[in-house]
Amino acid sequence: MKNPSQSKSTLSVHAGSPGDTQFGGLVTPLFPAAAYDYHGGVRYPRYFNTPNHRAAAEKIAALENTEDALVFSSGMAAIFTAIMAQVKAGDHLVFQNDLYGGTHHAVVNELNRYGIAYTMVDASDLKNVENAIRKNTRAIYVETPSNPLLKITDLAGVVRIAKKYKLNTLIDNTFASPVNQNPADLGIDIILHSGTKYIGGHSDLMCGVVAASKKFIDPIRQSALHFGGNADANTCWLVERSLKTIVLRVRQQNENALQLATWLSANKKIAKVFYPGLKNHPGYAIAKKQMPGGFGGMLSFELKGDADKFIAKLELIKPAVSLGGVESTINQPHKTSHAKLTPAERKKVGISDKLVRLSVGIEDLEDIVRDIDSAI
Ligand SMILES: *Cc1c(COP(=O)(O)O)cnc(C)c1O
């Protein structure tokens, strides 16, 4: 849990890191045991309560300013477990329409089979969210900044609506990372991450996160015990280790992305730039308020020329799915994260074939700019 007198940089290093209490080593040892003495309580990896799991979860909870957290084996395991823990047959959910492709696909293909109805709305106008609420609605699910168009949803506004109708609120906070945006501070109930991205930060692990107060996390943990999906000890150890540098990494990514977005905006070969830190972005004012740490390391742009040729010419920036690593990567959402959407669904949310999405790394900005400049 957060020590209010400590800043995020200090918490990223020290919160939830017990170190080696036996020999005095500075680093939490890896405890791979899957079997524990049951006297004094049952510890078991699938119960989310083994030592490396607790260390990672406590550091995440400190950074998200929540009472507790759970670490799952993937972002989708965390997201879907959290969603299913909210509902029973006959219930209804409201989703923002521009979601991570995997979440979108899971909602469309899974929920109706269990008798759970849903409505997807453009949440950049909160009237759409309120209008979608029915008598049987249980929760509102948003993602901001969104993937891949970096749309901003007004979190304080979502919380106001949710309180009025007594609904739970969930957010996919992956793009912002806990460094830039802490939705719990604005009253959002359940915070989700693909920890594969900024939390891991080195493109070498897969995990998912649920962070919330005990009241919200207990029922999610209960469902998670049934579904499985916990991260293992090795992954949790690596998550705890990786989080010690998250503030440094994300600050550099924020700085690089803001400068790069500004440079791209002034480039005549670029048709459009999507970055919430640009003053002409429709969500700029809200982003500035709800993302006190920075606008993040993700940006998208539409080229005037051919995207395939442009990507083939890049040398430093690698074509890759996933994001949030220390290295800059680029991809085409219509071929990757949103390939499973029909062309009509993509058009509806505004994803064109000329759109490329850049995950800005921690390299020197000049090297990133030079690579893009020569490829254009
Ligand atoms: C990657 C991602 C996910 C899914 O996470 P996995 O770790 O791949 O399961 C969910 N939401 C967002 C925004 C993502 O970028």
CATH number at residue 200: 3.40.640.10
Q: Could you say which of 204, 224, 243 is where a domain stops? A: 243
Question: Is the CB of 147 within 6 Å of ligand 1?
Answer: yes
Query: Do 62 and 180 lie in a common domain?
Result: yes
- pTM for this prediction: 0.96
User: Where would I find the beta strands (DSSP E) of 28-136?
Assistant: 68-72, 92-96, 117-121
User: Where would I find the beta strands (DSSP E) of the chain?
Assistant: 68-72, 92-96, 117-121, 137-143, 168-172, 190-194, 208-212, 270-274, 298-303, 318-319, 329-331, 355-359
**Protein residue whose Cα sits closest to atom 5 of ligand 1:** 75
In a domain, 2, yes or no: no
Query: Do 267 and 233 lie in a common domain?
Result: no
Q: Could you say which of 243, 269, 299 is where a domain stops? A: 243
Query: Do 143 and 220 lie in a common domain?
Result: yes
- pLDDT tens-digit profile, the chain (376 residues): 445 567 999 999 999 999 999 999 999 999 999 999 999 889 999 999 999 999 999 999 999 999 999 999 999 999 999 999 999 999 999 999 989 989 999 999 999 999 999 999 999 999 999 999 999 999 999 999 998 899 999 999 999 999 999 999 999 999 999 999 999 999 999 999 999 999 999 999 999 999 999 999 999 999 999 999 999 999 999 999 999 999 999 999 999 999 999 999 999 999 999 999 999 999 999 999 999 999 999 999 999 999 999 999 999 999 999 899 999 999 999 898 888 878 888 888 788 889 999 999 999 999 999 999 999 9
Dihedrals phi, psi of 84, to nearest 5 degrees = -65, -25
Query: Do 189 and 325 lie in a common domain?
Result: no
Query: Do 256 and 187 lie in a common domain?
Result: no
Nearest alpha carbon to residue 218 among 66, 90, 116, 89:
66
In a domain, 3, yes or no: no
How many structural domains is the chain composed of? 2
Query: Do 78 and 209 lie in a common domain?
Result: yes
CATH number at residue 251: 3.90.1150.10
195 CA distance to ligand 1 middle (Å):
8
In a domain, 162, yes or no: yes
Contact 214/68 with Cβ under 8 angstroms? yes
Q: What is the radius of gyration, based on Cα positions, of the chain?
A: 20
Query: Do 173 and 91 lie in a common domain?
Result: yes
Query: Do 203 and 259 lie in a common domain?
Result: no
Burial class (CB in 10 A: 0-12, 13-18, 19+), 6: middle
**Protein residue whose Cα sits closest to atom 8 of ligand 1:** 75
**Atom from ligand 1 closest to the CA of residue 175:** 13
Q: Domain span at residue 110? A: 8-243
Read off the pLDDT of residues 7-55 as tens digits, 9 standing for 90 and up: 999 999 999 999 999 999 999 999 999 999 999 889 999 999 999 999 9
Query: Do 236 and 255 lie in a common domain?
Result: no
Task: Give the span between the Cα atoms of 31 and 20, in whole angstroms.
Answer: 11
Query: Do 145 and 293 lie in a common domain?
Result: no
